[in-house]
Amino acid sequence: MNTKIDVTAPGKKAEKGGAHPLTKEIREMEKIFTSLGFEIADGPWIETEEVNFDSLNVPKNHPARDMQDTFWVKNLDETVLRTQTSDVQIRYMRKQQPPIRIIAPGRVFRNEATDGRHEAEFHQMEGLMVGKSISIANLKAVLDGFFKKYVGENVKTRLRPGFFPFVEPGIEFDVTCFACGGSDKKCDLCSGSGWMELGGSGMVHPNVLKAGGIDPEKYQGFAFGLGIERTVMAKYGINDIRVFLNSDIDMIKQFN
Ligand SMILES: [Zn+2]
């Protein structure tokens, strides 16, 4: 048979790929924290109960340990899918004496029903700074510096008392609404309050420093955990957290 090949016909072009929106945003956040003097640290997704809970001052009877919230690894004793990136604090402190200045972005897991605001898998950005004379003023300066670079110069942060077992005092931090800046009483993003709750923080609890092998008499530090999806959703006006992991190409393409 005589097949003719048209060598001048244009070839089929492969579609150009791009990084996932979360990857892109995490890289952007890493760049900002690196410019503020932070190093990037990492930890395993499968974690021991000791690192995930005990060393972080979460008592044995705390409800977070309940099957409802935590994925326990079957057939492996005292092993969980990490419920927060704070495990990296412990792992890092056990290797390194102060001064410490790290961020640890990564995936975390919670055994919960999903809806527009909750996923069983999501990402956090942990931050830890330990040294001599570290105070809440340093925490405020770092958070302010980060959000001004990530969103814009007009963004402000606000600290409020909160409770988390691994910090004392515990602090919840809010950021001025990315969408309305507080000017829209009907804003969907902030419900008209002008503030968005994006994470928890505080001064590292002396028990946590001790568990990390650091003398709380000599050193203090702050830690924070930023919800990455929550922050990215606020930045781009995304109203359903599930869009990040459901592999919707149309959604992903908008970021490339
Ligand atoms: Zn608003």
- pLDDT tens per residue, range 115-153: 888 889 999 999 999 999 999 999 999 999 999 999 999
Digit-coded pLDDT (tens) for 22-48: 999 999 999 999 999 999 999 999 999
Find the CATH number of the domain harbouring 197: 3.30.930.10
Say how many Å lie between the CA of residue 73 and the centre of ligand 1: 40
Q: Is 14 domain-assigned?
A: no
Question: Does residue 169 have a cis peptide bond before it, meaning omega lies within 30 degrees of 0?
Answer: yes
Q: Is 175 domain-assigned?
A: yes
Mean pLDDT of 187-197: 87
Say how many Å lie between the CA of residue 30 and the centre of ligand 1: 26
Digit-coded pLDDT (tens) for 44-91: 999 999 999 999 999 888 876 776 689 999 888 899 999 999 999 999
Question: Does residue 99 have a cis peptide bond before it, meaning omega lies within 30 degrees of 0?
Answer: yes
Say how many Å lie between the CA of residue 185 and the centre of ligand 1: 7
Residue 223 has pLDDT above 80, yes or no: yes
Which positions ≥6 away from 141 have C-beta within 8 Å?
none
Question: Quick one: angle between helices 228-236 and 21-35, nearest 10?
Answer: 100
Please state, rounded to an integer, the average pLDDT across all residues of the chain.
Answer: 91
Boundaries of domain holding 133? 21-253
Digit-coded pLDDT (tens) for 85-110: 999 999 999 999 999 999 999 999 99
Q: Is 172 domain-assigned?
A: yes
Q: Is 31 domain-assigned?
A: yes
Say how many Å lie between the CA of residue 67 and the centre of ligand 1: 35
Say how many Å lie between the CA of residue 82 and the centre of ligand 1: 32
Q: Note residues around ion ligand 1 (Cβ under 5 angstroms).
A: 177, 179-180, 187, 189-190
Q: Is 249 domain-assigned?
A: yes
Which strands form 121-131's sheet, in the order they lie side by side?
39-40, 100-109, 121-131, 220-227, 195-204, 167-176, 157-162
Say how many Å lie between the CA of residue 251 and the centre of ligand 1: 23
Q: Is 2 domain-assigned?
A: no
Say how many Å lie between the CA of residue 231 and the centre of ligand 1: 13
- Percent of the chain exceeding pLDDT 90 equals 62
DSSP letter at 55 equals G
Q: Is 244 domain-assigned?
A: yes
**Number of domains within the chain:** 1
- Percent of the chain exceeding pLDDT 70 equals 98
First and final CA of the chain: distance in angstroms?
A: 46
